[in-house]
Structure 1
Amino acid sequence: MLVRAGAAPLWWLGLLAAALGVLLPGLTGRRIGLQAGAALFLITAAVVALVRRRRFEHLSKTPVRAGRSDFLQDRAVTLRNWRRSHRWWLLAAFAVALASSLALPAAGGLTLAGAGAGLWLKAVRLGRRERTDDLLFWVRTDWIARGPAGRPVKGYRSTGVLAGDAAPGGARRR
């Protein structure tokens, strides 16, 4: 779930920065800026989707069944906590992407959107694994400070697909 938390803000802020960046002519011109932005979008999405892939695969191969003493956080609470703790980083990334449009119009915004797309691809891959195994992966709340695959995470907890309010991959359950 936490993998998916940053995808939407990065995607939308990136698209907004790219749209505003196109309005500025920039040093290189709009066409070159958009072409560079498209290339950076693809490269960033691929890099973000592949970073720490082995760690995620290792953690998802050996999940431990969640016990009664494990505290599993609601999807909305996880999203709210992540976005609150990262709001200044998101704002700074948006400002840098917008400022980079003075040199390469829309390139910084498309790079930011590429990071959001890469996180979304990572969540989709993890969700596919959850559907295959017919369970949901959870990270204990006391381990999550460094992210869903950080050093403190010793393993994922698992529950059935009907537990909680999230669908596989962290999407909202309908």
Structure 2
Amino acid sequence: MVRGGQGLARVAVVVRAGAAPLWWCGVFAAGIGVLPPGVTGRRIGVMAGAALFIVAAAVVTYTRRKRYGSLARSAARAGKHDVLQDRAVSVRNWRRGHRWWLLLAFAAALGSSFAVPAAGGLLLAGAAVGLWLKAAWLGRRERAGQALLWVRVDWLGRRAGAPAGKPVKAYRSTGIAAGDAAPGGSRRRTDALV
């Protein structure tokens, strides 16, 4: 950072950074977890897991939506000395900061399979789908406003926390073509720039 500029990370990228690892942890835990019959039996376990999948996806999708909306409405324009963080760096920082939580969640989902087969894994997978849906919602907001949303890296902290957490005071915005991530935080397709 130079001349008072701030390091900025894309809000949608940070939101969806945990989706892929949660999804794969959930899928593997559910796949392995369906092998033991468990206390409840496989059928009840899978049905309970399907219900948890839907509930987790809905809860994660709609949690803090008002906070995201108010921060987005009050977003100030990014300065010319602000440094826009690459998508890969934001994703790597989030995953490094949460690797032990992901491992613990995988172990808990796997361990719960001895009581309720596959339910814990499907819960993790539902949380991952919720993160993807929240990022897609942010992407629709960004397209509608023709502005990408960014958050200061120092407000995310060392563990790359939630982009709508208490330390976050405001967002910054840039034009829709800034950075290397498309609206919603996915990789920007190179043919979309031509």
Query: What is the TM-score when the length of structure 2 is the normalising length?
Result: 0.87
1:86-141 deviation digits (Å, cap 9, x = unpaired)? 10100000000000000110000000111111111111111100011111111111
Distance 1:65 1:71 in 2: 13
Contiguous gaps of at least 5 residues in structure 1: none
Letter of the aligned partner of 1:112 in structure 2?
Answer: L
Match of 2:152 in 1: 140
Alignment of 1:122-141 (within 5 A): 122-141=134-153
Q: For residues 153 and 68 of structure 1, do their structure 2 counterparts lie closer, same or farther at Cα, with a shift above 3 Å needed?
A: same
Does residue 15 of structure 1 match 2:27? Answer: yes
Structure 2 partner of 1:39: 51
Give the residue type in structure 1 aligned to 2:164: A
1:70·1:140 contact (CA, 8 Å) conserved in 2? no
Calculate percent identity across the aligned residue pairs.
67
* 1:157 counterpart = 2:160: no
**Whole-angstrom distance in 2 between the partners of 1:147 and 1:21:** 30
Q: Helix, strand or coil for the counterpart of 1:132? A: helix
Q: Return the structure number with greater helix share.
A: 1
Aligned runs of 1:1-174 on 2, under 5 Å?
Answer: 1-145=13-157, 146-174=161-189
For the 8 Å contact 1:72–1:141, the answer to whether it is kept is: no
Matched residues, number: 174
- Given the two structures, how large is their TM-score scaled by the length of structure 1? 0.97
2-structure distance, mates of 1:51, 1:63: 20
**After the TM superposition, which parts of structure 1 deviate over 6 Å for at least 4 consecutive aligned residues?**
none
Q: Give distance in 2, aligned partners of 1:47 and 1:162.
A: 31
